[in-house]
Structure 1
Amino acid sequence: MGTITLIAAAASGLMAGLFFAFSTAVMPGLADLPAADARAAMRRINVRIQNPVFLLVFAGNVILCGIEVFQGRIAGGLLYLVGSFLLTMVVNVPMNNRLERTDDAYWPEYLRRWTIWNHVRGIACLASTITLLLGL
């Protein structure tokens, strides 16, 4: 196994862990709060997560998984590219943007939909990690 594959698998694993933490702790914790407080907290999280370390792992792995696809580890690379990055850009980020623009009435729908798609991202990242380590 090459260095790029190992780093891509590790980055996919880190993202799987992040999504797992959100699905099992952060979002259920926010669900226990009044909508105004939960929405305010999630809005802060959405700002704070855009930091250099997160962006290096999240976006940097796009490059690594792209290389993996071209080197024949198509399943592992595409699971991350589509199941994590593309899904985030097409589904979760637009919901985050809407959360910024709307009032607290949107929170229950946001919480439900965002969390469902977050589960999908987590599963995709875990699957990416495993398939990359298996050389697929």
Structure 2
Amino acid sequence: MHSGVLAMDRLGTDRLTELMSFSPYLIATAAAAVTSAVVGGIFYAFSTFVMSGLDRAQPVEAIAAMRGVNAEAQANVPFLVVFVGSAVLALGAGVAAAFRLSQPGAGYVLAGAVLALVAFVVTMAFNVPLNDHLDAVDSSGLSAADATREWRAYLGPWTAWNHVRTAAPLLGSVLMLVGLRGR
């Protein structure tokens, strides 16, 4: 017969119940962290290979392909649910954390939520206007030099802002999880 103390005995029922309780704050923050990581991962793909792949094409073809990607992103319900849902969840977690700043980990959750929201703000403030400009370009009437100029004017800033959209929610996700661990 084994005469050791079981892990359940060491925890005690009060501690075990505390560990097993799932508050709306915990659920919303965990969901915000996961969806923020997903959003960062989507943008990571663009930062690491999609934009470079498009840049290998002729500028007129790259412009047409990016227009297609942008049109699909605006109409793709699963993407929009994750993208907008992530922002809503981060906003909720951030507001809840702001009211809990005296509690352990709340500062990390608040900072992570703000970073997670950066992806949404940058998208609306920078990437969407760049997409709208690209959409307005009549690529069929452009010379090769003009198409190259338009593509370069789009590619550099769009990709730079996309790096921000990649890093911010990924770091935000980590901070929210650290904050939950600290509670």
2:115 aligned to which of 68, 79, 84: 79
Q: Is 1:18–2:54 an aligned residue pair? A: no
Residue 5 (structure 1) shift: 1.2
Identity %: 41
Q: Is 1:67–2:102 an aligned residue pair? A: no
User: SS state of the match for residue 179, structure 2?
Assistant: coil
| 1:6 corresponding residue in structure 2 | 30
Residue 63 (structure 1) shift: 1.3
Map Cα deviations across residues 50-94 of structure 1 (whole Å, 9 max, x no partner): 21101101101121111111111211111111x200110000000
| 1:134 corresponding residue in structure 2 | 178
1:42 aligned to which of 57, 66, 90: 66
- Distance (Å, rounded) in 2 between the aligned partners of 1:41 and 1:70: 39
Residue 123 (structure 1) shift: 0.5
| 1:117 corresponding residue in structure 2 | 161
Pair member with larger Rg: 2
Residue 106 (structure 1) shift: 1.2
Moved over 2 A (4+): none
Conserved 8 A contact 1:75-1:128: yes
Aligned residues: 135
- Distance (Å, rounded) in 1 between the aligned partners of 2:169 and 2:49: 18
Deviates more, 1:117-126 or 1:66-75: 66-75
- Distance (Å, rounded) in 1 between the aligned partners of 2:121 and 2:95: 18
Gaps of 5+ in 2: 1-21, 98-108, 140-146
Gaps of 5+ in 1: none
1:107 aligned to which of 151, 154, 158: 151
| 1:92 corresponding residue in structure 2 | 127
- Distance (Å, rounded) in 1 between the aligned partners of 2:55 and 2:71: 19
| 1:54 corresponding residue in structure 2 | 79
After superposition, the CA RMSD in angstroms is: 1.3
**TM-score (structure 2 length as normaliser):** 0.71
Deviates more, 1:99-108 or 1:63-72: 99-108
